[in-house]
Structure 1
Amino acid sequence: MLTQNLGYPRIGSQRELKKVCENYWAGKTAYSNVLQVGKNIRHENWQIQKDAGIDLIPSNDFSFYDHVLDHSLMFSAIPQRYYDVIHSKGNTELDLYFAMARGYQKDGLDITAMEMTKWFDTNYHYIVPEFYKDQQFKLFNTKIIDEFYEAKQLGIITKPVLIGPITYLLLGKEKQIGFDKIDLIKNLLPVYVDILKKLQDLKAEWIQFDEPFLALDLDEKTQQVYRDTYKYLRKTFPQLKFVLSTYFDRLGNNTELATSLPVDALHIDLVRSPQQLNEVITHLHADTILSLGLVDGRNIWKNDFEASLAIIKKVKEKLGDERVWIAPSCSLIHSPCDLKNETNETVLIPEIKQWLAFAKQKVSEIVTLKHLAGENSGVSHQYQLAENQYANITRRNSTLIHNPAVKDRLSKITKADASRLNTFPVRKQLQQRLLNLPLFATTTIGSFPQTKEVRSWRAQLKKGDITEAEYNKLIEEETQKAVKWQEKIDLDVLVHGEFERNDMVEYFGEQLAGFTFTANGWVQSYGTRCVKPPIIYGDISRPEAMTVKWSAYAQSLTDKWMKGMLTGPVTILQWSFVRNDQPRSETCTQIALAIRDEVVDLETAGIKIIQIDEPAIREGLPLRKQDWAAYLDWAVKAFRISASGVQDDTQIHTHMCYSEFNDIIQNIADMDADVITIETSRSQMELLDVFADFKYPNEIGPGVYDIHSPRVPNSAEMVDLLKKAKAVIPDQQLWVNPDCGLKTRGWDETKRALIEMVSAAKEMRAAVTETIS
């Protein structure tokens, strides 16, 4: 029986990757230093896993930005517009790579970034490959080979990780009509062969192919491509050993397909889908190894050793010891690095900390399970079992978790609690009369740049270096500046800037009962963007108002309308580490009631435009379509509960980013937000087509520029996008806004971009006026 890991966090235990990359982009550190920090992180990760006793340690799981983008570079799937970057004097291959991820605006070049979207149902974002008819691929970058050799030089024979060829193609997007991206497999496979040959020459033994699309619904054509592809790879490399990794859901109707593929080991996710085990075993070939994904790669709770050992025992009885591996459910990139970094007991109390395991601890759990399942389990392993049992028992019985008042309120929810007083057409007339906003009304999504100074104030407050009164004064001054500047550039609906907030979920979690936090529990969201997800450990309630003070203060500074900013219940759920001892729907509804209380208090304080962000509602969709209806029922209901306590003339906004709405547009409409703002700039307004086809009745703010790139577009570019929007959505329904919040951007680029945005909106208004006259 062996252990394997599918991937390890690549940000560094102290977020070294974030710091060095951002310094490099700012011109504050050398290219050689970036490479050295990357090497240091890789070596540390490999050593951690080796010391823990992992048998098959992954390589090529490290990335400077995104592992899908790594593959695009490796395969030379580089859109033509980026080649000028590499040809510019002094630029490196890494500069080309970052330009694909972030855009490029210097050296006389102005190049947009590639599209970015969610990695299945996680909060990780990947850079979407761009595909063209008859596209050719070649080995452009040898990172996977170089890193295998690098580990080998340290005495560690790793298991190189490749995104499987079918999954890579399915992750991409056709940029021309008239072809099917899956047909590019014939052009892509030779590159895989080239890579595998080089790895074989270096004496690689195991190769990991990640094929998470096997946990999704597949058409017959794609299923056949799977069969043909792996048959070809097996025939070409009879000596290499292949492990096929699936995760995030069950194999379901792909069980027979996955188990029939000629691979040496099959990995399945038994955390997300324990019910698939019997069916997989039934179909498994007689000589195929089964890798059991038992340790949760996406959450932070300790494994239940007793439950896992029962599964391992059952599988061993059927398959034998040699055909059983123990592994995490998926890559550990979705987990924080090391629980030992949590030393501040005022942030994370010991009672809760003992229930947790981060990536380093999960690696140890995998190895401990191997020893406990073996015949020669020692005293130390039995002690670890007893310790694990104690932690799980204390969690189940803890008085911290259950709140009868919350459960009672939940039981009394009625249909009326999830409905506005009147339908949207009635509400719209009342809101127009009250708000008196122009066509193409301008606003932002909420946050303004969080400068080092703003972040330092929060740190000083926590350390006790400044008083709360001094901190509040600084935030007041920053809010005043933001409000006055928005008035100056003539934005229509203002925001207070959220300078008092850390993260859009963490800020609320800090004020809700049932949440706790970490000091260093960072995980990668995209590129160098790291977040510290809150931990939901118990029943949730709102002890007091959370945002009213700052929204009301900002409104007092201006005669224009100030928008209240909240994070929605589904997003708070999705972007937290969620308790696993009750249904997620129940936890989400508890959050919805807390947000509802805040919405009502904002309205009472005179805030008549309230945004409840739900960027994660699409992300939360189950991977299998047959499971969608149940999820969407409780997710939409939770949003409606949060938004439905106000009067008809209070305008409710919501925001969603990096979502495909085609297949859930009815559910988006069912949310009944008065205004929805969405990310559309990277897709050149393509996402609006579904709203037009559906005849979406409420108002829409399609993002007119991409905030995930430092590039600043001009007003003409935004006008072009707005004209595309106007071609499919009536003027009366359109708002003008950026794609997302501006917290991660600098003030200079933010100001320039918003001035251009306001100019674009005014040009659109003038064109309408001219047409009418």
Structure 2
Amino acid sequence: MTIKVNCIGYPRIGPKRELKNALEKYWKSEISEGDLLKCASELKKNNWQTQKDNGVDYICSNDFSFYDQVLDTICLVGSIPERYKHKDHEVSFKTYFAMARGSQTKDLDVPALEMTKWFDTNYHYLVPEFSKNQKFKLSSNKPFDEFDEAKKLGFNTKPIILGPLTFLSLGKTTDETFKSIDLLDNLLPVYAEILSVLNKKGAEWIQIDEPILVKNQNADFTKLIKKTLNQLKKFAGSSKIILTTYFEKLDSEIEKEILESDVDGIHLDLIRGKISNINSLRDINKTISIGIIDGRNIWKSDVNKKIEQVLEYSKFIKNLWISSSCPLLHTPYDLGLETKVPEKIRKWLSFSKQKLIELNHIKISLNKGNNEIKNYLDENKKDIASRVTSELIHDDKVKQRAKNITTQILNRKSNFIKRSEIQTNLFKLPLYPTTTIGSFPQTSDVRNARAKFKKNELSLKEYEDFLKTKTIDAIKKQEQIDIDVIVHGEFERNDMVEYFGEQLKGFTFTSSGWVQSYGSRCVKPPIIFGDVSRPESMTVQWSKFAQEQTNKIVKGMLTGPITILQWSFVRDDQPRKDTALQIAFAIRDEVEDLEKNGINMIQIDEPALREGLPLKKNDWKQYLDWAVKAFQISAAVAKDETQIHTHMCYAEFEDIIDAIAALDADVISIETSRSRMELLKTFEKFKYPNEVGPGVYDIHSPRVPNKNEMKELIQKASKLIDKKRIWVNPDCGLKTRGWPETIAALETMVQAAKELRTEK
């Protein structure tokens, strides 16, 4: 048997974020549509060549996107909501980006589609909207054009299509009288067209991504699986279908449905999951692609062990492919571009290109023998061993502190009712108090000053003087707008996780470790390689300085332990829980220092709490127990007079509302504007005891909503939550916005709150 390498998806932003830069220039009308398309063509060509050069047998196409693969599928099947006024056969960039970012032009004034997290990752997708009598129509040639584009360049690719079960399951319905999956029969004829065209164009294999199948499904949904897969195979004709799942194992009954279907191949994630019964594959006449290289983390694989693993599977599987566990969208491009990570740690790492190299060496070993790659295997073995024995990683004092957790450490001194009375008398805030989530626009002068400081072109004093000027200016702007509780703007911070990681032991950072978060938004996750502790205060200097500039309350701004964990590449040599608790104690120390320096309102952001929830419900309780404990460790040191805020994004709160209440934050701000406050329906059933700040406008869009829109959202919230417990704030931080739209939106927000204070 010959082992083959299967790539199920590659990063698309470019090794140096070329797509990000091109998109942002296009949105500013600095380049043409043709220029943007040319950039995309170069990136796709480079990706295909990289895969070919590094031994990939099944190179993928249609994994590229100008914004998001779910949005691409919305366009492909023609499920564009009417408000976007799409009339043409093929979806234009104008309509595409209106759905992604909103539009505020004379002929089209609409908000963007709702956005939420892609399974349990920090990638965001645009949420499809479905009406009861939804019509679908082939409205994009993207997968066909990319297949042809690759073919002209000499690459015979495997097109990737998001499957109908996942696409419908990820969508939302316009009313509650039907479920999105009820539209399956309406949707499948469009998939018939898509697969038929790809077949006629000569696609040998077509990849159908159905990650929704790894989640717990009811019996009615499970019954649809085999029937749907059989239809897809029929539509594809002579082209072969590989069904691709990832992020978890399949439940045994779903695995059985897939194995008994007519599809030609199956991809399974063996990093986060496993095959329920390897013996069941012995007589299966299907290609099995096993995801044995971690597609979501950056640690080098023990290639010698992986070879043994694949060898074992080859005893049971006739047609075996090897792959990454999931698409490589979630890992950086190329370790060869890296200039910042210390060499002692760098040799433990593997980015997307290196993961292809690992797969290729596994293939070479099994197809041709270890002698072909002896030097590579010896070097890999040495690097793996050096990490295990490294003195950089372990700190016994940190480990011990995280083991000795008492109820006193976890609980605030008094309950919320008593704390609320104390805080109300202390702060004397009006009805519907206004605030923001934390950051203000990181304009080009801020980024340039930071870059110059890092290059030693600005002294520490010059840089800090610049930051002080920006902070004072932000405070004055907030005072002029008359925001009740202000923030210092976070101009000293490059990123809400990286900033803290740079000051904590156990972290290291990359120069080129960029991954896509959504659209043009890229993040550079820190790497947690060892035990975590805080050598000294991290935020006191800037919070104290800001408070000295104003008589208004200034919130201290911290990132919570779960978000730091989720938005980092986390060490895989100990349980994630242990790392989270270590981070929690570091944040606890910071809360205590802020209090000692006169900061009486502290926000501990946890936008990633819901994101970390396991995909299998049986695993939820265990995760939520330690996630809540980590937040409690961080916050419970605060005195009754100190008001603890937290902020969450993209959360389906109904799933975890008990856990959110257990955090015992005095105020929680939540992202709700894109869903038009739909997320607050949870509060109908669950009487949340503390204060809530539902976001009244979407910061991910440049569109500035009008005052009546904001008032309407606040009024919607007040029907579910006592108005005395409602705060008024944007959905999220304002770092990525420009000042003109930020000021306009905040002025409108404050005016809306003031008018509602006077209404009966």
Do they fold alike, i.e. is TM over 0.5? Answer: yes
Matching residue of 1:120: 119
Q: Which of these residues, 279, 282, 285, is aligned with residue 280 of structure 2? A: 282
C-alpha distance in 2, partners of 1:543/1:560?
Answer: 31
1:234 deviation in Å? Answer: 2.3
Alignment of 1:677-756 (within 5 A): 677-756=669-748
Rate the CA distance shift 1:735–1:686 in 2: closer, same or farther, 3 A: same
Aligned-residue CA RMSD (Å): 1.3
C-alpha distance in 2, partners of 1:397/1:122?
Answer: 30
Contact 1:255 1:279 (8 Å CA) reproduced: no
Matching residue of 1:308: 306
The one-letter amino acid of 1:103's match is G
Alignment of 1:212-611 (within 5 A): 212-253=211-252, 254-273=254-273, 276-277=274-275, 279-282=277-280, 286-320=284-318, 323-343=319-339, 347-379=340-372, 381-611=373-603
The one-letter amino acid of 2:425's match is R
For each residue in 1:682-707, what CA deviation from the matched residue of structure 2 results, as whole angstroms up to 9, or x when unmatched? 11111111023201010000000000
SS at match of 1:56: coil
For each residue in 1:344-364, what CA deviation from the matched residue of structure 2 results, as whole angstroms up to 9, or x when unmatched? xxx310010000011111111
Alignment of 1:607-626 (within 5 A): 607-626=599-618
The one-letter amino acid of 1:110's match is D
Rate the CA distance shift 1:98–1:280 in 2: closer, same or farther, 3 A: farther
Matching residue of 1:93: 92
1:283 deviation in Å? Answer: 5.5
Matching residue of 2:141: 142
SS at match of 1:326: strand
1:109 deviation in Å? Answer: 2.7
For each residue in 1:275-330, what CA deviation from the matched residue of structure 2 results, as whole angstroms up to 9, or x when unmatched? x235254257520122110111100001111221121111111224xx11110000
Structure 1 segments unaligned to the other structure (5+ residues): none
Rate the CA distance shift 1:284–1:68 in 2: closer, same or farther, 3 A: farther
C-alpha distance in 2, partners of 1:141/1:503?
Answer: 36
1:147 deviation in Å? Answer: 0.3
1:95 deviation in Å? Answer: 1.6
1:411 deviation in Å? Answer: 2.0
Matching residue of 1:209: 208
Contact 1:8 1:331 (8 Å CA) reproduced: yes
Q: How many residues align?
A: 757
1:376 deviation in Å? Answer: 3.6
C-alpha distance in 2, partners of 1:248/1:722?
Answer: 37
C-alpha distance in 1, partners of 2:503/2:562?
Answer: 17
The one-letter amino acid of 2:756's match is M
1:221 deviation in Å? Answer: 1.4
C-alpha distance in 2, partners of 1:280/1:135?
Answer: 41
1:108 deviation in Å? Answer: 4.1
1:377 deviation in Å? Answer: 4.0
The one-letter amino acid of 1:384's match is Y
C-alpha distance in 2, partners of 1:632/1:762?
Answer: 38
Matching residue of 1:151: 150
Rate the CA distance shift 1:281–1:157 in 2: closer, same or farther, 3 A: farther
C-alpha distance in 2, partners of 1:485/1:145?
Answer: 50
For each residue in 1:514-562, what CA deviation from the matched residue of structure 2 results, as whole angstroms up to 9, or x when unmatched? 0000011100000000000000000000000000000000000011100
SS at match of 1:442: coil
1:84 deviation in Å? Answer: 6.1
The one-letter amino acid of 2:616's match is R
C-alpha distance in 1, partners of 2:87/2:623?
Answer: 44
Which piece of structure 1 moves more, 369-378 or 185-194?
369-378
SS at match of 2:632: helix
Structure 2 segments unaligned to the other structure (5+ residues): none
TM-score scaled to structure 2, two decimals? 0.98
C-alpha distance in 1, partners of 2:522/2:134?
Answer: 34
C-alpha distance in 2, partners of 1:440/1:723?
Answer: 11
SS at match of 1:761: helix
1:453 deviation in Å? Answer: 0.2
The one-letter amino acid of 1:112's match is P
1:177 deviation in Å? Answer: 2.6
Rate the CA distance shift 1:698–1:183 in 2: closer, same or farther, 3 A: same
TM-score scaled to structure 1, two decimals? 0.97
1:257 deviation in Å? Answer: 2.2
C-alpha distance in 2, partners of 1:108/1:278?
Answer: 55
1:650 and 2:642 aligned: yes
Matching residue of 2:192: 193
C-alpha distance in 1, partners of 2:303/2:60?
Answer: 24
SS at match of 1:719: helix
1:157 deviation in Å? Answer: 0.6
C-alpha distance in 1, partners of 2:79/2:87?
Answer: 15
C-alpha distance in 2, partners of 1:699/1:692?
Answer: 15
C-alpha distance in 2, partners of 1:581/1:532?
Answer: 22
Matching residue of 1:60: 62
Rate the CA distance shift 1:85–1:463 in 2: closer, same or farther, 3 A: farther
